[in-house]
Amino acid sequence: MNKMTLTILSALFMSFFWGGCSDSTSNDKLDELGSVTFQVSGAVEGDKEGMADFWAMSAYSINSWEIATNDYNPQSFSMQFQKTSQSEIENPDPGTYSIGGGPDDYLAIFIDTENGFEDSVEYNTFYEETGGTL
């Protein structure tokens, strides 16, 4: 797995979270999903846009909160921001949050599928040596 630079993650999340996600109580229809637009620079270059969805889940004393995004027809990327905890996770207010591999951090995953799923490349902040703020 490749490392994604901090600058890319910060720009991606801020563009998405504060500018592109719409509120939806049902995920039954594609037009009820939120949307995302952002620019990627670094190992991957380009303007991206697609759909966005949010969910929170609790199972076996583990709580999970996630925003998932991707484009479609054809799919060229997917991006997730997630947090897991044994404590309840509340929806975050606008602000600054830590991303990386620590227990209180949000994790970020960007998968470039521009060349197809078999040749996809994943960038993530699962490792403590990567991270920053969003």
Are 113 and 86 within 8 A, CB to CB?
A: no
Tokens, residue 124: 């993530």
- Nearest CA to 40 out of 16, 8, 1 is that of 8
* pLDDT higher than threshold 50 for residue 133: yes
For 13-65, how does the pLDDT look when each residue is reduced to its tens digit (9 = 90+)? 444 444 444 444 444 555 578 888 888 877 888 899 999 998 889 999 899 99
- In order, the DSSP letters of 25-41 are S--SSGGGSEEEEEEE-
* pLDDT higher than threshold 70 for residue 83: yes
Across the range 60-73, mean pLDDT stands at 91
- From first CA to last CA, the distance across the chain in angstroms is 21
Mean pLDDT, all residues of the chain: 76
* pLDDT higher than threshold 90 for residue 71: yes
